[in-house]
Chain A
Amino acid sequence: MPPDRPDEHPLLPLVARGLTFGINGRRIIKDVSFWIGSSGRTVILGPNGAGKSVMLRLCHGLLEPTGGEIRWGELSVSQAREQQAMASQHPVLLRRTVKGNLLHVLSVKGVARSERPALVDAALERAGLAGLGARAARTLSGGQQQRLAIARALVLRPKVLLLDEPTTNLDPAAVRGVEELIGVIGAAGTKILMTTHDIAQARRLAADVMFLNDGRLLEHAPAAEFFAAPKDPVAAGFLAGELPG
């Protein structure tokens, strides 16, 4: 994507140069470079096994790259992580109540006890989980669990939210609930970086699309441009419903 003027965002632009990642001799991310300056929703699109989740974890610092580097604005990945939150495909919910899951985050981050209840209630309200605070988190439905995971990620008002296939395995109504929540969060100024293999979802949510296939970034373009006329032949094939070879 051509460098434009970065929005007023402390963690942008997100810049990766020559990023590689391998494990057990297998290369999963192959020499990827990109520049993300806009605070709109960035979607990493690609088939299963393209390396999307690994890429997201590299950006969040959960994995160490074997080569290349990532910077979030002026900050290193580990510095930037303090202002980020992540929710993944299979949300890791603690064996506690819904409220307990939110309170845990606030306690880890040292938020004053007196401020916690208000933050918890606001987060539950925003995620459409008001009234479910006393339920055990792991007994919620799939869609509710994912909304709780996102609410928990948001309770500290992160500057960046990373979402790894947030709606996989959810039914259409639950997908709508999660996507609406993502829309509200993005509109409030939180940078969203998410992965999906779902083309329709990418169309609905993306401001810009990074198309990843077999560990390589094949195209990075504004969503309108990408969906109207993808420049990369593999991306065009993927959008046309062909299985990547």
Chain B
Amino acid sequence: MNEFSSAIGAALSMIVTFDAAIVEIVLLSLRVSLSAVAIASVVALPLGALIALQHFPGRRAVVILLNALMGLPPVVVGLMVYLLLSRAGPLGPMGLLFTPTAMVIAQSIIVLPIIAALSRQTIADLHEEYDEHLRSLGCTPIQSVATLLWDGRFRLLTAIMAGFGRAIAEVGAVIIVGGNIQHATRVMTTTIALETSKGNLALALGLGLILVTLALGVNATALVISDAARQRYG
């Protein structure tokens, strides 16, 4: 118990003094996960809108698949990306394995179905409500999509934040494709896993506290935003 409380004390002092090791790791985590979410959003938002608005054969199957992919195990994604990027893999010559880029690729794949599925649901619900009005106005497809995206902006932001929450907390994929290399690919989750097994509880706990704060903070912010939007715009 004594060891535990001294570890907490050490962890807190590392946080308040902006310990260089912690800052480096937190910044890399944010860089990787924010990039992954940004890249995934660029693909996932239009994809979600497309699936919500276009009728095509097999749409129902695509929707089911997309929702199922939200539960994609990060470890398996890590393995697939590892195989793609390893020396013998199809993208091996690019030399991306064990770089932050590899981690961004893996997290983008994990997050993409989450943002796409949630935004599809948001846009489909709004479309059902707005469809008659938009057709009465004679909106072009692009005008319709723009209207739906704008009116769904707060719920879409929530979808993006859900994706970020998943990416920042994920360990299985980044540890495989990043390799957890000090000063190169070490992020919060992989550091916690490593330092805990080494018995360095202070660093692990310090990062754990920051990670929990970030994850809870993102979720709380998403809730506050969507609540405020509902009160403001109905």
The finding on whether chains A and B are genuine partners in a shared complex, rather than unrelated, reads yes
Contact surface of A with B, Cβ cutoff 8 Å: 57, 60, 62, 81-82, 85-86, 88, 92-96, 104-105, 108-109, 136-139
Residues of A contacting B: mostly? mixed
Residue from A85, A92, A93, A109 within 8 A of B132 (CB atoms): A92
Given known pairs A60-B136, A62-B136, A108-B143, the reply for A92 and B233 (CB within 8 Å) is no
- Cβ–Cβ < 8 Å partners of B137 in chain A: 105, 108-109
Q: Is B90 close to A, CB under 8 A?
A: no
**Interface residue B139 (Cβ < 8 Å from any Cβ of A):** yes
B142 → chain A closest CB, angstroms? 11
Which residues from chain B sit less than 8 Å from chain A, CB to CB? 129-130, 132-133, 135-139, 143, 147, 151, 229, 232-234
Q: What number of residue pairs across chains A and B have CB atoms under 8 A from each other?
A: 41
Cβ-closest chain B residue relative to A162:
B136
A53 → B minimal CB distance (Å): 11
Which of A85, A104, A139 lies in contact with B234, CB distance below 8 A?
A: A139
Give the docked Cα–Cα distance between A177 and B163 (Å).
47
Q: Which of A60, A81, A86, A96 contacts B233 (CB 8 A)?
A: A96
Please determine whether A136 and B234 come into contact, CB atoms closer than 8 angstroms: yes
A92 CB to nearest B CB, Å: 4
* Docked pose: A108 CA to B148 CA in angstroms: 13
User: How many angstroms from the CA of A108 to the CA of B135 in the assembled complex?
Assistant: 11
Q: Do A138 and B234 touch across chains, with their CB atoms under 8 A apart?
A: yes
Q: Are A92 and B234 in touch, CB under 8 angstroms?
A: no
- B residues near A94, Cβ cutoff 8 Å: 130, 147, 151
- The answer to whether B151 touches A136 (Cβ under 8 A) is no
Q: A92-B133, A94-B151, A95-B233 are in contact. List 16 more A-B contacts (CB 8 A).
A: A57-B132, A60-B136, A62-B135, A82-B138, A85-B136, A88-B132, A92-B130, A92-B132, A93-B234, A94-B147, A95-B151, A95-B229, A95-B234, A108-B138, A137-B234, A139-B234
Residues of the A chain whose Cβ atoms lie less than 8 Å from the Cβ of B139: 108
> How far, in Å, is B166 (CB) from chain A's closest CB?
27
Q: In whole angstroms, how far apart are the Cα atoms of A85 and B133 in the complex?
A: 9
Contacts of A88 in B (CB 8 A): 132
Nearest first, the 7 A-B pairs at minimum CB distance are A138-B234, A95-B233, A92-B133, A95-B151, A86-B136, A136-B233, A108-B137
Name the residue of chain A whose CB is nearest to the CB of B140.
A108
Bound CA–CA A62/B139 (angstroms) = 13
Q: Across the interface, do B138 and A138 meet the contact criterion of CB distance under 8 Å?
A: no
Cα distance, A136 to B135, chains bound together (Å): 23
Give CA–CA (A104, B132) in the complex, Å: 15
Chain B residues, CB < 8 A from A109: 137
Q: How far is the CA of A214 from the CA of B143 in the complex (A)?
A: 37
Decide: A136 near B232, CB < 8 A? Known: A85-B136, A92-B130, A94-B130: yes
Q: Which residues of A contact B233 (CB under 8 A)?
A: 95-96, 136-138
A86: chain B residues at CB < 8 Å are 136
The interface residues of chain A lying within 8 Å CB-to-CB of B129 are 92
User: Which chain A residue has the least Cβ–Cβ distance from B135?
Assistant: A62
A-B contact pairs, 22 of them (CB 8 A): A57-B132, A62-B132, A62-B135, A62-B136, A81-B138, A85-B136, A88-B132, A92-B129, A94-B130, A94-B147, A94-B151, A95-B151, A95-B229, A95-B234, A105-B137, A108-B137, A108-B139, A108-B147, A109-B137, A136-B233, A138-B233, A139-B234
